[in-house]
A and B are shown apart, each in its own frame.
Chain A
Amino acid sequence: MNTPTVYVPRDSAALAAGADETAAAIAAEAARRGLSVSIVRNGSRGLFWLEPLVEVATPQGRVAYGPVHAENVPALFDAGWLQGGAHALGHGLTDAIPYLARQERLTFARMGLTDPLSLADYQAHEGWAGLQAALRLDGAAIVQQVLDSGLRGRGGAAFPAGIKWRTVRQAQAAQKYVVCNADEGDSGTFSDRMVMEGDPYLLIEGMAIAGLAVGATRGYVYIRSEYPHAVATLREAIARATAAGFLGDDVGGSGRAFHLEVRMAAGAYVCGEETAMLESIEGKRGIVRAKPPLPALAGLFGQPTVINNVISLASVPIILARGAAFYRDYGMGRSRGTLPFQLAGNIRHGGLVEKAFGLTLRELVFDFGGGTRSGRPVKAIQVGGPLGAYVPASRWDEPLDYEAYAAFGAVLGHGGIVVHDDSADMAKLARYAMEFCALESCGKCTPCRIGSTRGVEVIDRLRRDERRAEQVILLRDLCDTMLHGSLCAMGGMTPYPVLSALDHYPEDFGLSVPDKKAA
């Protein structure tokens, strides 16, 4: 009989749920029973409420059990789980779990299937197909594929990736760079982390393609220091990919060079802003630069630089492998392709849901997410990170599309979705948004540096009912200044959560509902 294979994820979220202890318990229990078991540490499927989600390979396919803690392991062996036996923690075939079966996983197609660092696994699951396709094209044709796919920046700004690439490609310089922004500091987002920990060669492949497209020979991945597992995994993956000839002086035997390096951030949220990130990679304080010049023309060390988020770059390989039309056929309007949504906060089934643009928040939070974890009614849903608006119930049926969200003053951002139940105090959350901005502002522009501190004070007075009607006027005026006068999204978008909380939940600020028009 062949040695059965058991998959125990190594994603941070699985480790935080005790995956290492589970893996050790499986090995010990197998040894105690004289059984031979091959344990593979795979990436996470993204069903985090089931972590540690252990899978057993059977002739019918992989069978899922979860959450499997060390103390459950003996009973699972008793139930014959190595043959896919029934148990209370069993979920049947992994691929048939509705949460997964209903997704459209393009970027995350391989996520959780493979050993993240195995080059053989990567190759066996369509790995490097995009790079091979790119190596048969000239740079302009690669850029055209990305343009035709309709891919827009997944980091939040949604700028067409192909236009950025074309600008860098057409710039004349001896040295160009590709920089991956992996400073995923937004609460409620973890898709970048999942790619780096669970499918790192995907990001490497996307960056190598970007390098070939624009003529850049060096790349940096700027990863936050709060992600030590992602840093370690990506560094190891870069070393292995370089040794195997997918990076280095001769990418895939093409004679063209692309060198990749990880740079660790140091806990400054504002370094997720692209120009602050460049300053940080240059070894300076992460202060936002004025634009122009665009980083595409004068970016890292003053040279033309492609800057993309992890998911943008990780979406490129499948576009090259399957063709621009394949990717463009997903989505709606000008939002083409898929977005890996991240269901977070007070939600029963939190995790990663990759779907084409156009589904609704209600479908995500209730059909996929199962409502709140606390069992209480959903009160507010923050979409797009700490700088995104709180979306009230009246908007939960709007399609998730960049333009549709912008039309009512919200943002899709990076696809992070944080659910709050009816115990949430929206005035407290609005205060937190200002407090966070005050803590993290780089200090270069006045509206952000001073405005955020004044914002905390005004909201405090508002909550204490010191001349409340005047404070509302003051707060709206302050938000207007920050919105229009800040240098970057830090100060410019902090008003989104503040104003949406004030507009849609006035009672939490001690205002009667009609008073919300006080300004």
Chain B
Amino acid sequence: MNQDLGTVRTIATAHRQVPGGLLPALHAVQDALGHVPDEAVPVLAQSFNLSRAEVHGVLTYYHHFRRQPPGRQIVQVCRAEACQACGADEVMAQAESLLGCAAGETRADGEVTLLPVYCLGLCASSPALQIGDKLHAAVTPARLPRLLADAGLAR
């Protein structure tokens, strides 16, 4: 944790002169550590001359930021209308069942976090999902088991 705090301090210092720098700083912390630990809040607050409450407010306002470490891999299933029109609800239910993990949660073994996402911008080839950095379009119930297996997420 001391090493993580050092990382946060470096990031905070690098962003303190950037206009509106708190959001880029939070991104940088999450990119470096996988999440934004609670210990980062006072460090950022001091650097940006804000109250801890203000930093906490920004951190918790945005869906993108996580306060807990995610699973080793993140699976995001698009839930927006264009994907719903092509069976996204079924894909999410199937993903929950195949991964053994509810939407919005991290599996007990810490291997995977399953998240809903509101639009990956692949609306013409829905339903879409993302495993790690890799996008997949036109996902069908027949394809999903293999996609998860290829990512080492089969049970």
**B-side contacts of A344, CB under 8 Å:** 82, 123-124, 126
The answer, among A267, A268, A301, A418, for a CB contact under 8 Å with B85, is A418
A436 close to B (CB within 8 Å) = yes
**A-side contacts of B62, CB under 8 Å:** 265-268, 285-286
Shortest Cβ distance from residue B36 to the other chain A in the assembled complex, whole angstroms = 11
Q: Are B85 and A228 in contact (CB under 8 A)?
A: no
Given A225-B64, A266-B64, A432-B84; A16-B123 close (CB under 8 Å): no
Q: Are B119 and A382 in contact (CB under 8 A)?
A: no
Q: Are B19 and A301 in contact (CB under 8 A)?
A: yes
Q: Are A189 and B125 in contact (CB under 8 A)?
A: no
Q: Are B121 and A190 in contact (CB under 8 A)?
A: yes
Question: How many of A's residues come within 8 Å of B, CB to CB?
Answer: 58
Q: Which of B114-137 contact A (CB under 8 A)?
A: 117-126, 128, 133, 135-137
Given A188-B123, A344-B123; A266-B23 close (CB under 8 Å): yes
**B-side contacts of A15, CB under 8 Å:** 135
Q: Are A187 and B118 in contact (CB under 8 A)?
A: yes
A233-244 near B? 1/0 per residue, CB < 8 Å: 000000000000
A48-B86 Cα distance, complex, nearest whole Å: 15
Shortest Cβ distance from residue B26 to the other chain A in the assembled complex, whole angstroms = 7
A266-B119 Cα distance, complex, nearest whole Å: 13
Shortest Cβ distance from residue B79 to the other chain A in the assembled complex, whole angstroms = 9
Q: Are B121 and A227 in contact (CB under 8 A)?
A: yes
A281 close to B (CB within 8 Å) = yes
Q: Are A283 and B124 in contact (CB under 8 A)?
A: no
**A-side contacts of B121, CB under 8 Å:** 12-13, 184, 189-190, 193, 226-227
B152 close to A (CB within 8 Å) = no
**B-side contacts of A330, CB under 8 Å:** none
Q: Are A49 and B124 in contact (CB under 8 A)?
A: yes
Given A16-B137, A267-B64, A436-B118; A350-B27 close (CB under 8 Å): no
**A-side contacts of B63, CB under 8 Å:** 266-268
A228-B76 Cα distance, complex, nearest whole Å: 14
A351 close to B (CB within 8 Å) = yes
Max chain A C-beta neighbours (<10 A), residue from B20, B23, B81? B81
The count of A-to-B residue pairs whose CB atoms sit within 8 angstroms is 145
Q: Are B65 and A282 in contact (CB under 8 A)?
A: no
Max chain B C-beta neighbours (<10 A), residue from A186, A187, A190, A226? A187
Q: Are B125 and A51 in contact (CB under 8 A)?
A: yes
A12-B135 Cα distance, complex, nearest whole Å: 7
A187-B61 Cα distance, complex, nearest whole Å: 21
The answer, among A189, A227, A301, A374, for a CB contact under 8 Å with B123, is A189
Q: Are B133 and A228 in contact (CB under 8 A)?
A: yes
Q: Are B124 and A48 in contact (CB under 8 A)?
A: yes
The answer, among B61, B82, B118, for a CB contact under 8 Å with A418, is B82
Given A285-B57, A418-B82; A264-B123 close (CB under 8 Å): no
Among the 9-residue stretches A249-257, A419-427, A461-469, the one with 4 or more Cβ atoms under 8 Å from chain B is A419-427
A452-475 near B? 1/0 per residue, CB < 8 Å: 000000000000000000000000
The answer, among B26, B81, B86, for a CB contact under 8 Å with A432, is B81
Q: Are B85 and A421 in contact (CB under 8 A)?
A: yes
Q: Are B124 and A351 in contact (CB under 8 A)?
A: yes
B91 close to A (CB within 8 Å) = no
**A-side contacts of B23, CB under 8 Å:** 263-264, 266, 280-281, 283
A188-225 near B? 1/0 per residue, CB < 8 Å: 11100100000000000000000000000000000001
Q: Which of B99-155 contact A (CB under 8 A)?
A: 117-126, 128, 133, 135-138
Question: How many of B's residues come within 8 Å of A, CB to CB?
Answer: 39
A386 close to B (CB within 8 Å) = yes
A269 close to B (CB within 8 Å) = yes
Q: Are A187 and B64 in contact (CB under 8 A)?
A: no
A248 close to B (CB within 8 Å) = no
Q: Which of A264-299 contact B (CB under 8 A)?
A: 264-269, 280-286
A142 close to B (CB within 8 Å) = no
The answer, among B20, B85, B125, B135, for a CB contact under 8 Å with A419, is B85
For A20, give the chain B residue with the smallest CB separation: B134
A342 close to B (CB within 8 Å) = yes
A49-61 near B? 1/0 per residue, CB < 8 Å: 1010000000000
**A-side contacts of B57, CB under 8 Å:** 285
For B128, give the chain A residue with the smallest CB separation: A16
**B-side contacts of A87, CB under 8 Å:** none
Between-chain CB contacts (< 8 Å), 25 pairs: A51-B137, A187-B83, A188-B81, A190-B122, A225-B27, A267-B62, A269-B118, A281-B23, A282-B19, A282-B20, A283-B19, A283-B24, A283-B58, A285-B61, A285-B62, A286-B61, A342-B123, A345-B85, A345-B86, A345-B123, A345-B126, A350-B123, A374-B86, A429-B81, A429-B84
Seen from chain A, the residues whose Cβ lies within 8 Å of a Cβ on chain B are 12-13, 15-17, 48-49, 51, 184-190, 193, 225-228, 263-269, 280-286, 301, 342-347, 350-352, 373-374, 382, 386, 416, 418-421, 424, 429, 432, 436, 440
| 20 extra A-B contacts, CB within 8 A, seeds A15-B135, A284-B20 | A17-B125, A17-B137, A49-B125, A184-B121, A187-B80, A187-B81, A188-B81, A190-B123, A264-B23, A264-B24, A264-B27, A267-B62, A268-B63, A283-B23, A283-B24, A301-B19, A342-B123, A386-B80, A429-B81, A432-B84
